Structure 1
């Protein structure tokens, strides 16, 4: 009967944050609303704010079953939204219709644990609104609040990196093979749900078996009775990533494994006497026919972003290596962009406080694409990811014979001598020059769920140390050439008509033509349309250019669109026909189209539609391709390296003295009879 009387009861909040969370001391405001189907007497409407934790589990020993449970009540606050009649002290009569009442309550101050729902227990905070009527049981409406305990993010241990290592020797019968070693590190200890953890790993496999690196995120739930004499522990694997197989007799394999923390993961709970929630990152090497080699990192999940301190090698090497950077000379155009066959010059700067020995020093040019997103269904989260590699070129200044890179280029100094492994105190500069491969690679890109990155990475390795690395990204674009693909110059034509209904009568039609498909940034996109308005209302032609990002992984696709710019044409009166020409100027800062990547695409569309009042708008969509605009021609590219392998090997370095520029240029000319191709801008006419 009550449900027939009270309809559409809602509790509406107006002061929650973007993530719909509250914390200690917050003010909660909102209103309750409901509809009455008939005149109703109500004694009062109350509101109760409660917080509690509850655990329960059972064990079985033969035929005996034993139950364990515990409950904690943090607080219970009551207030009245609608009071009884102040004159008669009886019920208040409510008329049929809609009723809305405002409320305000303060969440109490205290060290309360965050909301949590686990396997054998939960922590909940509820807001209960009760409607009390004469001679009837009260009707309660319960809403659960998402409470988050704010931790102090100024704790140094949250920002500090984590480092761990382990090793073992695989034995079979009486024979033992070489050792397997692993060193891993994270950039910090504190993370947020939804954040990605970068685990830097170094593996060496001197055994005769292949090993597979794996990284997983594990949640540890512990439930206690009130006296903590009994407890129940559950381990739940939330996410797992498998790396590439490491072959036998392989040493110094460096890799970074990315582990995405599910956005649905709860924060760490350590301030509840009957429930603990902890998180661990497990880095392991799976060895066929043997136990796994494992390193565990305890991490803390919180709701506040935490910045990382410098990576672990900073602390390990700071007494000796005081500076290690890689820089490059900007491109010879205003927007600092590079394309295929361009030349890139730069230098590695290494500053040491005392003499040290290095195992290897290299510069690497890399180009790769990566996509990653998470989809949630109920309590299940699935992460989709994929990656693609376009180029990876390594050149060594100092080569480690155990690196396995026998086919890579070894650079020499300005005199043609190998670089020394022993570095004297002071600042040392290692210059380089290389040519971007003349191949079809997608442009640099940074989207919501993926990116394409081209970078220069310098790596310094020393014995018994984590490698020092520094990276610098370069802005690469596919060379603009409207003639390379005949389809870019092909015209497009579409026709669309629509019969009006309801508040309109007649028909509208449009015949639209584009001169071509490919356009440069800053170019005018000419749209020619013949519009027939046989309806009873005025219509307006409208134009919209929008971009479409598509991400592909594991047979799934994620799409996002965004309107870039719109324009509105002149109105066309009823019962008329007009030829309309509109030139849309493509902005210079619009990202170029990317159609040559297998795991992501950046496409563009032109939408031409007729704005018809009180009716759906007929529209035509044209695929268009936007290419990078020509840039200002640059200066001539630098000469080739003295080593003849594409890297510049001359310059000034305190370890060997200073060479005059004229002598360096002469040495380069002798080693390379012909100049490299001109810079990117000179090709774009």
Structure 2
């Protein structure tokens, strides 16, 4: 019997949260481990990440039996964990025993659905590790990731209360009994698995029969072909509760029913074209010898807890991708609530000049009010401000640069008709961001570049009610064609040692270009000659330089972003070293097109020599927005574990420089269009 060479293979991931889920854009880290029973040559160890959906079902029987299926692939990329020997080109030899290799990969950004295993289909995210040996078939090991789609929890419909009602009258020939009615309310629409839903039910039984309330949580799975010409639907009861019977001729029965959602229930899926998962709470009144009375309440299951109250928004995005945490800000008083929100046009929730931005102003009134006007403004500006001390006096420096301010009237009093009724009123709007050379959003110690939507409600002889929502904008100039950004960079330096150290040290340093994206790795190749009497260490420092300008003065703010240290080089030796410096994904992009504010970056490469001034080289670095679409060909590097995370990527959509392609301009809806919703819970109604 032959003994297996590779045994006890294991893939371990570092958990990102309590539910052990991952989402688009997450950096997944961990390690693989296995045991070898003998010395083994390894050509390479690869890692493949796939996301796909598949459905399949059949209908009919015999000769009339037909099968239906559909497949979708969300992404498919391959990375290298272990290369063959880079010097000799020969396979790497591993000794018998246990081996461990770290792994890391960043999931691509995209609107991908949550993992799901259903009756006729599944959505799966699989990581496969392949061990390749000379003259052997690849040995593959696979595991699945629990992927959760991140929901935009700032949508008002998620935390707004829901209500449903129904009634009927029992009839038997010429004799009719009294009506049976019910009203069901929930505090919100979105819940997490394991959460308890509070159902507030009001029943009225004026009939002569006993009725029994029953509550079910139902899951509906719908599977489609690609053309959606055929579909198969399955409905499952996940939880069932039976309440206390209600006697005949009983009115105004108030019940609070607590329904706990199973903790293993999958998330709702609405963003997959071939598979949908919906949830309903079915409240039924079971009536003896008659058809039942039913109310259906649709709910959403998501990975993030949604409060039953409007979220407390914090609109202070630092710079760019992934930092804008809200799309709506609420200003509330005892009698008026006003909110302004916008609709994201891409996964990263960012905009560029020329894009269309759509949204809505929501006004909730506790009673009817006289209102003069409701308007919304689109604004863009930059400002700097700082104070300097000169002896006993302080001088303040301030300057503001205004890019645009566009006003749109949503409601105006007309011919004396200035009354707006009680309830929730929604006024949609559409703007086009001016197609001009706009700098990216920024927030620093002494200045900021800010783009906002501001809503204003005006009443006669009253202070205006206002709300503001900040959105993130990136510069959309094509820097890929700029030679200063894309050209290779090379510098050299040499220094003669004196005093406590003799000889000379020198280095010749190259980097591929000056422009790099957020989260990308800067590969630094340095040829170092140490002809001195001491060991030296190569060191690397990426730092930022923010400059502010006002009244002919300049304020500079510098800070080291990261530092790294290479291996020592002994005396009288020369080495060529390669180091990849990964730019943190949350680093602000470079800003060079603002007259009062600049954000610049430098990469400092220097040799640490004891008792001497360190020779150094500085490279200017341009930080570009993170890669998202098809127009950028350089995959981000993940140097910590020695492989490129998106090598040989087959991901749908590819990679791009800009994260939000320009949208086509939708026509603005009429300003008079309003939608009415139930008023928000907890409203006091005081004037």
TM > 0.5 fold call: no
TM superposition score normalised by structure 1? 0.45
More RCO (CA 8 Å, sep 6+): 2
TM superposition score normalised by structure 2? 0.45
Larger Rg, first or second structure (1 or 2):
1
